[in-house]
Structure 1
């Protein structure tokens, strides 16, 4: 085969072009799925914490009485296994003197304390969930906890109802 014929031969060009494009396309598909999962888990965490916060706020008979019960209630509403949830979830519930003090406290990390207060108390519930990442460079606006983990946070501040 002459050099001129070799240059005109385009057999296999599509395979070579696919070899260049395929890794980027696969990474984009995986990143899209991963960001979607992050959004689902974040929304799921928000809903679980709001459900537990409502039980605390209203003084429901099945409200959590300690940190273990709080984590159990939140993990019961999460999408993944209970064991994984318990390992990745950090919570705290604390009473604050007023809503102005709840703002700075909400920015702090969850410490594991539990004080649901009483009727009329202002309560802050914090939950932080660590989620493993496959492609951390595509995590978007999520806060990262190291190179392969995203941190999902949710907070709820409220005044307990005047329950008896």
Structure 2
């Protein structure tokens, strides 16, 4: 009797081992998470690229609008247009930061304010004389002055967009939960007046 039970158990195990019903479901269970993350990743990348293209296009148009003589009174309108264009494809919690820095010339963009490096340490300190090119009373690593400046000034206009990812896959593959995009345009104001090159000086702390 025990032998018969053993034989029946062996036959049942053999049948179970050869039974392939449900194998597809099990295989899909292994593949599905990877497939879902891959699909969401593709859509997330596509959304990011589309948003970046919209942002760059909006900045280029804003750059052209800001070169006009009437730009001084239209800054809020131009800024609003940039924000409205990118906001159409972004979550409500997205943040759009706009910055305008005016410079005397294109070569000044991204450059620090000049100073007399008396101790040759490459740092503005020890009461060294500096040229306050942006007129804010302190030495700055970027000599740009906030705003669009005046006649003939070169302006660096930058937009930075930060928003939570549209597709919830960041935590699954170790990405940041937020996306940050930036776009810049450089323009020169129309020469409807003369540039003011008057410079104040100060002393570094």
**TM-score under structure 2 length normalisation:** 0.62
Q: Deviations over 1:104-157 (max 9, x none)?
A: 58xx9xxxx851122311111011000211323799xxxx8xx31011001111
Q: Would you say 1:129 and 2:136 are equivalent positions?
A: no
Q: Does the 8 A contact of 2:103 with 2:149 survive in 1?
A: no
Q: Deviations over 1:54-79 (max 9, x none)?
A: 111133x4x46476444312122225
Q: Which runs of 5+ in 1 are unaligned?
A: none
DSSP-derived class of the 2:191 partner: coil
Select which of 92, 102, 110 maps to 1:84. 92
- Tell me the distance in 2 between the aligned counterparts of 1:120 and 1:34: 41
Q: Does the 8 A contact of 2:65 with 2:78 survive in 1?
A: no
Match of 1:150 in 2: 179
Q: 1:27 to 1:51 in 2, by over 3 A?
A: same
DSSP-derived class of the 2:92 partner: helix
Between structures 1 and 2, the one with greater helix share: 1
How many pairs were matched up? Answer: 149
Structure 1 residue 82, shift from structure 2 partner: 9.1
DSSP-derived class of the 2:88 partner: coil
Q: Does the 8 A contact of 1:91 with 1:128 survive in 2?
A: yes
Match of 1:53 in 2: 63
- Tell me the distance in 2 between the aligned counterparts of 1:7 and 1:82: 52
Q: Does the 8 A contact of 1:31 with 1:138 survive in 2?
A: no
- Tell me the distance in 2 between the aligned counterparts of 1:12 and 1:104: 67
Indicate the structure (1 or 2) with the bigger Cα radius of gyration. 2
Q: Does the 8 A contact of 1:42 with 1:152 survive in 2?
A: yes
Match of 1:74 in 2: 82
Question: What stretches of structure 1 move > 4 A for 4+ residues in a row?
Answer: none
Q: Which runs of 5+ in 2 are unaligned?
A: 1-10, 113-140, 194-205
- Tell me the distance in 2 between the aligned counterparts of 1:123 and 1:29: 41
Aligned-CA RMSD value: 3.1
**TM-score under structure 1 length normalisation:** 0.75
